[in-house]
Amino acid sequence: MKTNPMKSFVAAVVFGISFSGPIAANTPEDQGFEIAARSDRSDLGFGNSRVELQMILRNAAGQESTRSLKISTLEKADESVGDKSLVLFDTPRDIEGTALLSHAKILDPDDQWLFLPALKRVKRIASSNKSGPFVGSEFAFEDFTAIELNKFDYRYAGTEACGALQCDVLERLPKYENSGYSKQISWIDQEVFQIRKVEFYDRRGDLLKVLELDDYRQYQNGVWRAHRLKMRNLQTNKETDLVYQDYSFNVDLGSKDFVKGRLSRLR
C-alpha cells in the first residue's frame, strides 16, 4: 500500500542514469521510461517510513466521511522484489485495528493478508483485485500498490506547464494483469522530478479519475513526499482526499514487523 508514486530501484541499478543529466533518448518510449526512472530514483534509499494520514471520502452531494490510518513501509534492498507495507486503521471505530499487510511484487500478484480484529483472524486475501476500491474510496488497490517502475510501459508525450513548474507528460500502460485502466497519463515536474498529476482512463478508454498531488516537502534524507492527494472520479463525481502528517524515516522497523504473525500484535 505505497503512497508515494514510483519507487522501484531497478531503474537506478540497471540504467544508472545520472541524477541531473539531460534525458537523451531515441524513441518516445525510451524517453518516457527514462523520465519515469529519474523520478523513481529520487526516492531511492529511504529505508523505512511511518506516517499517519486521514482519508476523506466525499460523495457527489458533498457528504464527507473520514478514516484515519497509519502506514508503515519497508524498502527492500533487493530490487527484484517490491516493498513491504502495513496499513493499520484507527477510525471509523468499528474497524479500529483492521490491518492490511502487503508484500509487493513487480509483475506477479502481491502477497496480502488482512487482519480482522473482531475475530482476531488473519486472512490471506486474493490480490488479483487490483481495480477494486480501497475501503470504499476512489483509490483502487492498484493506485497504492502498482507503482513500481517496471509495472508500466511508458511513452513521452511532450512538455506542459503544471502550476508554476514545467512538467514532462508521460503515458504509462499497465503491464500487470487485472488492471482497471487502459492507460494513465502522468505529469512529472522538471525541477525535482516528482509526479504532480495523473489521469486514469478506464478499460473502455474513457477518462475515469484525476489524481492531484500537492504539498510536496523534502525530508532530511533527500526524499520528497506529497502530503495532500486528491482523487476525483469524473464519472461519479465522488472524491477522496489523503491528508498526510509528517513522515518519520528510519524508525525502528525491520522485516520482522512485516510478517503475518505480527498482525494480531499491532496494538
Partner 1 sequence: MKSSRLKSLLSLAILLSAFVAEAGRASWEISSSIDLGMRIFMENPRWPNQDDATTQLSIAGTTELRWRGDDSRASIIPYLRYDETDDERSLADLKEAYWAKEAESYELLIGINTVFWGVTESVHLVDIINQTDGVADIDGEDKLGQPMINLEMQRDWGLIGAYLLPYFRERTFAGKEGRLRTPLPVDTDNPQYESSEEENHIDLALRYSHFVGSVDIGLSAFSGTSREPRLLPNADGSALIPVYDQIEQLGLDLQYTDDAWLWKLEAIVRETKNDSFNAAVGGFEYTFYQVADSTTDVGVLLELQYDGRAGDQPITLADNDLFAGIRLAFNDTQDTAVLAGVGYDVETSETYVNIEADRRLGDAYVLELRARIFTNADAGDTSFAIGKDDYLQVQLSRYF
265 contributes a contact to partner 1 by CB under 8 A: yes
Residue 65, interface with partner 1 (CB under 8 A)? yes
In this complex, which beta carbon is closest to partner 1, that of residue 25 or of residue 116? 116
The answer to whether the beta carbons of residues 100 and 114 sit under 8 Å apart is yes
Q: Please report, as residue ranges, which positions from 135 to 164 form the binding site for partner 1 (by CB under 8 A).
A: 135-136
Q: Per CB under 8 A, does 248 bind partner 1?
A: no
In the complex, the smallest distance separating the C-beta of residue 245 from partner 1, rounded to whole angstroms, is 18
- For residue 256, what are the contacts with CB-CB under 8 A and spacing of at least 6? 262
H helix and E strand count, the chain = 3, 14
Residue 94 Cβ vs partner 1, minimum distance, rounded to whole Å: 5
Residue 259 within binding range of partner 1, rule CB under 8 A: yes
| Rounded CA separation 40/216 (Å) | 15
Binding map of partner 1 across residues 69-108, x = CB under 8 A, - = no contact: ----------------------xxxxxx------------
* Closest residue by Cα to residue 143 from 124, 130, 153: 130
Quote the CA–CA distance of 105 and 8 in Å, as a whole number: 10
CB of 91 to partner 1, least distance (A): 7
Three-class SS state of 209: strand
Smallest distance from partner 1 to CB 117, Å: 9
What's the gap between Cα 102 and its chain centre?
13
Amino acid letter at 211?
A: L
Asked if residue 134 lies in contact with residue 141, where contact means CB atoms within 8 angstroms, the answer is yes
**Does residue 52 contact residue 253 with C-beta atoms inside 8 Å?**
no
CB of 140 to partner 1, least distance (A): 10
Looking up cell 524508525 gives 251
Return the number of other C-beta atoms located less than 10 Å from residue 42's C-beta: 19
- With respect to partner 1, which residue has the nearer C-beta, 166 or 236? 236
Smaller CB separation from partner 1, 83 or 138: 138
Is residue 59 within the footprint of partner 1 (CB under 8 A)? yes
State the minimum distance, in angstroms, from the CB of residue 112 to partner 1: 9
Question: Which residues make up the interface to partner 1 (CB under 8 A)?
Answer: 57, 59, 65-66, 91-96, 109, 111, 119-126, 128-129, 131-133, 135-136, 180, 256, 259-262, 264-265, 267
